Amino acid sequence: MISGERFIVTYFLTGSEKEAYAKARDICVEQTVEYPAELLGPGLIRDEILGRIESFEKTADGYRVAISYAIEITAYELTQFLNVVFGNISIKPGIRVEKLDLPPALLAPFKGPRYGREGLRKLLQVDKRPLLFVALKPMGLTAEQLGELAYQCALGGIDIIKDDHGLSDQVFAPFEERVLRCTAAVEKANKETGRRSIYVPNVTAAFQEISGRSRFAKEAGAGGLLVSPALTGLDTMRYLAEDDTLALPVFSHPAFQGSYVTAVNQGMGIAHYALYGQISRLAGADAVIYPNFGGRFSFSREECRSIAAGTQVPMGHIKTIFPSPGGGMTMEKVPEMLEVYGKEVVFLMGGGLFKQGTDLVANCRHFRQLVDNLE
Amino acid sequence: MISGERFIVTYFLTGSEKEAYAKARDICVEQTVEYPAELLGPGLIRDEILGRIESFEKTADGYRVAISYAIEITAYELTQFLNVVFGNISIKPGIRVEKLDLPPALLAPFKGPRYGREGLRKLLQVDKRPLLFVALKPMGLTAEQLGELAYQCALGGIDIIKDDHGLSDQVFAPFEERVLRCTAAVEKANKETGRRSIYVPNVTAAFQEISGRSRFAKEAGAGGLLVSPALTGLDTMRYLAEDDTLALPVFSHPAFQGSYVTAVNQGMGIAHYALYGQISRLAGADAVIYPNFGGRFSFSREECRSIAAGTQVPMGHIKTIFPSPGGGMTMEKVPEMLEVYGKEVVFLMGGGLFKQGTDLVANCRHFRQLVDNLE
């Protein structure tokens, strides 16, 4: 019933060696049986179900422990997998998830991203240069106005044009009208330019609405879906990514997810590498949006570099995905960002695109020129 | 198109007065238009869509700001509401959500908990005493063994008998078999005792499985549903609570949700009051599980008291719900917990129940005796 195959989660622990080791032993219990260990007799539960310390070592500022779990306790569900990785212990300070090592037998039931880097490049017909990504805003514009912006962005050479993540189904720009107008606008621009820009609506919504909105978007000709997985649940993103009747690339937005990373330097939460890299991939994102270093958020250059690493570390059949740094990005930052990310990146420009001048098409062309020579 | 009705979110901010005020202004932009404020001309967007600072005051350790938002920008969806409250700014350190003030026009589309305190008492036929809640464990037992435990707990006088939150659909105790055995076991015990214990299966699962498992549980005779909303998305819990064909009480489990509170003392995340109290109510929980003070987790007595306050603060038609402290609870702690919570509480005993002795029925009866004189 239990195969003996295990997956490994590496945690960083704070405290003295004694405290950290006690914490490691506690994780083995808390994340599995949550039951007095001394009451477990010999047998399957004690031998297989309990977490197992595989290694324990000192680091510069704490301890690193690798704990293995039987793959069967995940029930091969993303929700229960995440519960084993960081369920109850998310509530305990001084424990940080560092990385995941998942054997093929655990990865097998997960499809991961449908497109990944290679698929998205093919879809957008962009060989080598970084991809360009912008958001339609500000909230409060009508669907017609947003459609006009989408047209200008596509005309200006932007590859991926998404709803701002706060656009859902507000009275001033209802979902269906917005999707119809924006898809039509991008299609019109594509005919004029001969390029393949896509419009990506935000389908983050109520549980009972998400499938319907996604399907509506697909039928209207949208080229992808934007999801904020901390609002919908990470598994909802996985579901959308795996849905063969949609077959659309999925873009993950970090809204409401920040608490997992704001205290990583105090030894809490989930490391950027694991959250934006490994977990987002497992949850089906083809590109993962997060705030770039040096912007109005607080991610460091090293943290951003670790995200890029997490998007491409080998994970069995799970495809590599694009890091998509945004959040206060400006044209001036492109060269520095190329240094950190190379060309395997989706540059997300938000408000910065509008600051450049009043002619949005010209702003987009300027943005595009910055990467065109990298093809 | 915009009614002028606004809701208020109170945030705590760290830093100097100047820094905190800049942060407050930034929140007004970041959570709404996410667009260079200087480019917004006069009109609806600048006047109504932008967040608005309603008050700003110094506290003992930082600043407290009340920011109002137009109710229409939530689209009356829990996902987008949470995005306005703490979407992008969850990624910025030094901002903590303190509390929500929601006008009737915003609350109207939300049903909130179906039962609440009064309804759950009526359902379980318990007038005044604290309710008793236990978890079936350890993971690794068979469905038959879990059923036997459920029988003993019901026989011993426990009101609510739930799956441990790590039980989903593992090979050693598949969901359907477990639900059938546990509902049958509790029904049998109820016939013998004349009481109304309920069995509450864990329906935290893949997006496409949750509705089906909940319906299976309902048809099998389960008395409630256990959900970990940080794993499924808070809105999934709301959906289950509002589903009239289920009409079951919903119990919220805090797994994977801890990162919102582990750094509250550093001025980050969502205050216990707002998260376990107000937000959990809005998301339909009839009782909210969290780790009690003095246990193996780190919640303070004051934080637990604030949760109890958040479960009962007036919120229009949204019912009051039960705080359900657990996590290392033992029989010895009952008197101290009564001091903090009074009788309007659901005591959740996990592993502690098994530590008392090898006769589980006797352990449950002992637990029950501690509250029976409070009826």
| ipTM of this predicted structure | 0.98
* Residues of chain B positioned with their CB less than 8 A from the CB of A168: 75, 77, 79-80
d(CA A276, CA B45): 32
State the nearest Cα–Cα gap between A166 and chain B, in angstroms.
7
Does A32 share its domain with A170?
no
pLDDT, one tens digit per residue, over B67-105 is 999 999 999 999 999 999 999 999 999 999 999 999 999
Q: Which of A107, A140, A167 is the last residue of a domain?
A: A107
Going by their DSSP bridges, the two strands A95-101 and A6-13 should be labelled as antiparallel
Are the CB atoms for A261 and A272 separated by under 8 Å?
A: yes
On whether residue B235 sits in a domain, the answer given is yes
Cα A372 to its chain centre, rounded Å, is 26
Q: Which of B82, B107, B132 is the last residue of a domain?
A: B107
Which residues of A participate in catalysis according to the annotation? 137, 253
Q: Is the pLDDT of residue A157 over 90?
A: yes
d(CA A280, CA B250): 28
In b/e form, how buried is each residue of A145-172, taking b as 16+ CB within 10 angstroms?
Answer: bbbbbbbbbbbbbbbbbbbbbbbbbbeb
Does B352 share its domain with B297?
yes
In a mutational test of the B interface, the residue from A12, A35, A169, A293 whose CB has the highest number of chain B CBs within 10 Å is: A35
Short-list B80, B40, B38, CA closest to A171: B80
Sign of the Cα pseudo-torsion (B349, B350, B354, B355, in order): negative
d(CA B198, CA A31): 25
* Interface check B141 vs A, CB under 8 A: yes
On whether residue B152 sits in a domain, the answer given is yes
Here the tokens at position A228 are: 């904020």
Residues 6+ apart with CB under 8 A from B342: none
Does A166 share its domain with A24?
no
Structural domain count of chain A = 2
d(CA A147, CA A58): 55
Give the pLDDT of residue A315: 98
Residues 6+ apart with CB under 8 A from B130: B338, B341, B343, B344, B345, B346, B347, B371, B374
State the CATH number of the domain containing residue A41: 3.30.70.150
Q: State the average pLDDT over residues A231-259.
A: 98
* Interface check A216 vs B, CB under 8 A: no
- In the chain, the amino acid numbered A244 is D
Q: Does residue A48 sit in helix, strand or coil?
A: helix
Does B175 share its domain with B322?
yes
Does B55 share its domain with B123?
no
d(CA B28, CA B44): 15
A41 falls in which pLDDT band (50, 70, 90)?
confident
Cβ pair A262:B164 closer than 8 A? no
φ, ψ for residue B282, nearest 5 deg = -60, -30
State the nearest Cα–Cα gap between B67 and chain A, in angstroms.
17
Beta bridge partners of A198: A160
State the nearest Cα–Cα gap between A112 and chain B, in angstroms.
14
Does A81 share its domain with A43?
yes
Q: Which helix (H) or strand (E) holds B236?
A: helix B234-242
Cβ neighbours, 10 Å, residue B121: 18
pLDDT, one tens digit per residue, over B336-371 is 999 999 999 999 998 889 888 899 999 999 999 999
In a mutational test of the B interface, the residue from A92, A178, A262, A354 whose CB has the highest number of chain B CBs within 10 Å is: A262
Distances (CA, A) of B215 to A210, B170, B210, B302, B349: 20, 19, 9, 38, 27
Cβ pair A87:B231 closer than 8 A? yes
Cβ pair A259:B260 closer than 8 A? yes
Does B186 share its domain with B72?
no
Are the CB atoms for B59 and B131 separated by under 8 Å?
A: no
* Residues of chain B positioned with their CB less than 8 A from the CB of A262: 90-93, 263, 268-269
Does A202 share its domain with A263?
yes
Task: Please tell me whether the overall predicted TM-score, pTM, comes out greater than 0.90 for this model.
Answer: yes
Q: What are the counts of helices (DSSP H) followed by strands (DSSP E) for chain A?
A: 16, 13
d(CA B351, CA B270): 28
Cβ pair B235:A169 closer than 8 A? no
Cβ neighbours, 10 Å, residue B31: 24
In the 8-state DSSP scheme, what is residue A343? T
On whether residue B1 sits in a domain, the answer given is no
Tell me the average pLDDT of chain B.
Answer: 96
d(CA B334, CA B316): 32
* Residues of chain A positioned with their CB less than 8 A from the CB of B207: 233, 235-236, 238-239
3-state per-residue secondary structure call for B263-313: CHHHCCEECHHHHHHHHHHHCCCCEEEEECCCCCCCCCHHHHHHHHHHHHC
Q: Is A360 left (phi over 0), alpha (psi -120 to 50) or beta?
A: alpha
Q: State the average pLDDT over residues A143-153.
A: 98
Does B271 share its domain with B300?
yes
Tokens 């945004």, located at residue: A326
On whether residue A1 sits in a domain, the answer given is no
Which domain range does residue B81 map to?
Answer: 6-107
In b/e form, how buried is each residue of A184-204, taking b as 16+ CB within 10 angstroms?
Answer: bbbbebbeeeebebbbbbbbb
Q: Which of B107, B132, B147 is the last residue of a domain?
A: B107
Does B310 share its domain with B328?
yes
Choice among A70-84, A270-284, A285-299, B201-215 with the minimum mean pLDDT? A285-299
Going by their DSSP bridges, the two strands A322-326 and A287-291 should be labelled as parallel
Are the CB atoms for A157 and A195 separated by under 8 Å?
A: yes
pLDDT, one tens digit per residue, over A339-367 is 999 999 999 998 889 888 899 999 999 99
Counting other chains too, the contacts that A105-110 makes at CB distance below 8 Å and 24 or more residues apart are A105/A3, A105/A5, A105/A71, A106/A5, A106/A7, A106/A71, A106/A74, A106/A76, A106/A81, A107/A315, A107/A316, A107/A317, A107/A318, A108/A316, A108/A317, A109/A76, A110/A78, A110/A238, A110/A282, A110/A318
Distances (CA, A) of B209 to A239, B205, B213: 11, 6, 6
Q: Is the pLDDT of residue B5 over 80?
A: yes
Q: Does residue A189 sit in helix, strand or coil?
A: helix
Q: Is the pLDDT of residue B296 over 80?
A: no
State the nearest Cα–Cα gap between B194 and chain A, in angstroms.
30
CB contacts < 8 A (A, B) = 293
* Interface check B169 vs A, CB under 8 A: yes
Q: State the average pLDDT over residues A258-287.
A: 97
CA-nearest residue to B73 within chain A is A170
Give the pLDDT of residue A356: 83
On whether residue A223 sits in a domain, the answer given is yes
d(CA A233, CA A269): 17
Distances (CA, A) of B374 to B128, B229, B309, B348: 7, 32, 21, 17
* Interface check A184 vs B, CB under 8 A: no
CA-nearest residue to B350 within chain A is A35
d(CA B262, CA B264): 6
Going by their DSSP bridges, the two strands B160-163 and A225-227 should be labelled as unpaired
Are the CB atoms for B117 and B147 separated by under 8 Å?
A: no
Counting other chains too, the contacts that B265-268 makes at CB distance below 8 Å and 24 or more residues apart are B266/A263, B266/A266, B266/B14, B266/B93, B267/B12, B267/B13, B267/B14, B267/B61, B267/B62, B267/B93, B267/B94, B267/B95, B267/B96, B268/A259, B268/A262, B268/A263, B268/B93, B268/B94, B268/B95, B268/B96
Residues 6+ apart with CB under 8 A from B359: none
Cα A6 to its chain centre, rounded Å, is 25
Q: State the average pLDDT over residues B247-263.
A: 97
On whether residue B321 sits in a domain, the answer given is yes
On whether residue A258 sits in a domain, the answer given is yes
B37 falls in which pLDDT band (50, 70, 90)?
confident
Are the CB atoms for B313 and B321 separated by under 8 Å?
A: no
Q: Which helix (H) or strand (E) holds A113?
A: none
pLDDT, one tens digit per residue, over A196-220 is 999 999 999 999 999 999 999 999 9
d(CA B174, CA A77): 13
Tokens 């049986």, located at residue: A33
Tell me the average pLDDT of chain A.
Answer: 96
d(CA A137, CA A164): 6
CA-nearest residue to A269 within chain B is B259
Q: Is the pLDDT of residue A296 over 80?
A: no
On whether residue B252 sits in a domain, the answer given is yes
Does A303 share its domain with A342?
yes
E-state strands within A131-286: 131-136, 160-163, 198-200, 225-227, 250-252, 269-270
State the CATH number of the domain containing residue A149: 3.20.20.110
* Interface check A105 vs B, CB under 8 A: no
In a mutational test of the A interface, the residue from B175, B253, B259, B268 whose CB has the highest number of chain A CBs within 10 Å is: B259
Are the CB atoms for B222 and B181 separated by under 8 Å?
A: no
B241 falls in which pLDDT band (50, 70, 90)?
very high
* Interface check A171 vs B, CB under 8 A: yes
d(CA A111, CA B309): 44
Are the CB atoms for B141 and B358 separated by under 8 Å?
A: no
Does A89 share its domain with A153?
no
Short-list A78, A77, A60, A56, CA closest to A68: A56
Percent of chain A whose pLDDT exceeds 70: 100
Give the pLDDT of residue B1: 82
d(CA B196, CA B194): 7
Residues 232-261 (B) with a CB less than 8 A from some CB of A: 232-236, 238-239, 254-261
| Sheet strand arrangement including B95-101 | B52-58, B63-70, B6-13, B95-101, B269-270
3-state per-residue secondary structure call for B117-163: HHHHHHHHCCCCCCEEEEEECCECECHHHHHHHHHHHHHCCCCEEEE
Cβ neighbours, 10 Å, residue A265: 14
* Residues of chain A positioned with their CB less than 8 A from the CB of B34: 135, 137-139, 164, 166, 350-351
* Interface check A208 vs B, CB under 8 A: yes
d(CA A332, CA A346): 16
* Residues of chain B positioned with their CB less than 8 A from the CB of A363: none
Going by their DSSP bridges, the two strands B160-163 and B131-136 should be labelled as parallel
Cβ pair B83:A165 closer than 8 A? yes
Q: Is the pLDDT of residue A82 over 80?
A: yes
